[in-house]
Amino acid sequence: MTTIADELTIERRGHAGSVARRRTNFVIFLGPAIILTVLFFVVPVVIDVAVSFTDLSRSLRISEFTTEQYEKVFRTDRRLSQVIGLTFIYVFGTLAIFNVTFGLILAVATTAIRNASGSFFRGVWLLPRMSPSVLYILLWLWAVSPTEAGLINQVLMQAFGLDAPLDLLTSAPIALIIISNGFIGASMGMIIFTAAIRSIPEHLYHAAAVDGAGTFAKIRFITLPALRWPISFVTIYQTLSLLVSFEYILLLTKGGPFYDTTVYALYVYRRAFESGQYGYGAALALFLIVIGVVVALLGWRFFDMERLLQRPRIEVH
């Protein structure tokens, strides 16, 4: 017995020329994405794998092919566990405090007030993202400067009567890298959540009001459920981008004091480009790619993203 769907498929297949049309559609619709993926993901990974099996170093000469780099990753590099632990704190802390939670609060708050003020506040939070990283970090360096001229020290000393200036870069470096990244990271969640909130039909809020919901009940029962997909997306996307980006940390603390703020990606960079261990850096980077893929897949499963995917609006056969 065949179902109607089967029959339709058979009918479709039967049409002459439809196979050719499918091929053309495949090339037109998926071609560009495939080319980009190959060029910017597959090729670099292949090169990375190749380099990781060499002893490439500062001399830029390969003298032998070896698995020595992997032995280092899994056995001898004792700093690695500390780096991984810090990376976890950094990624999870930034994500949980700023990129998702604070972004969500910003979005909910700025859409609940008058439109003009809401746009203004969102604009303010977007500013750091629009300014060059170096400029943004220069401002931070001034703010946390351990001298009396530093912004935070000025405030603490003049308004709160602190005696000696604080050296936050030494005493609270992890908090600093989380905050400086989070202030920027929150704006992406904010924008995506704002757009999602805007697209919730107004009648749902009217209905909720009629049903007896107050402000917080409306947020909990109408707004948040509608944000499930954007929250999942922002979480996975930002996890990955936090895992691999390190430019703000490099500019702010250079990974220090010592290795205290050296997250994994920065560790790869320091190994490869500061110590000149290119082969080892490549092996570490490969490990990072694996972590990234695993995290993405776990996130996909955890948030049940498949179920949240919408059917294509246009079906192409």
Q: Which stretch binds other proteins (CB under 8 A): 12-20, 71-79, 131-139, 221-229?
A: 221-229
Q: What CA–CA distance (Å, rounded) separates 291 from 288?
A: 5
- Taking the complex as a whole, the smallest distance from the CB of residue 198 to other proteins amounts, in Å, to 16
- Taking the complex as a whole, the smallest distance from the CB of residue 111 to other proteins amounts, in Å, to 18
Which of 84, 213, 289, 296 lies at the binding interface for other proteins (CB under 8 A)? 213
41 token code pair: 């993901």
Window 28-67: residues binding other proteins (CB under 8 A): none
Which of 114, 212, 307, 312 lies at the binding interface for other proteins (CB under 8 A)? 212
Kindly state whether residue 304 participates in binding other proteins, applying the rule CB under 8 A. Answer: no
| Residues 160-199: x where in contact with other proteins by CB under 8 A, - otherwise, as a string | ----------------------------------------
Kindly state whether residue 112 participates in binding other proteins, applying the rule CB under 8 A. Answer: no
Residue 233: phi and psi, rounded to 5, are -60, -50
Residue (219 or 289) nearer to other proteins, CB? 219
- Taking the complex as a whole, the smallest distance from the CB of residue 176 to other proteins amounts, in Å, to 39
Window 226-245: residues binding other proteins (CB under 8 A): 226, 228
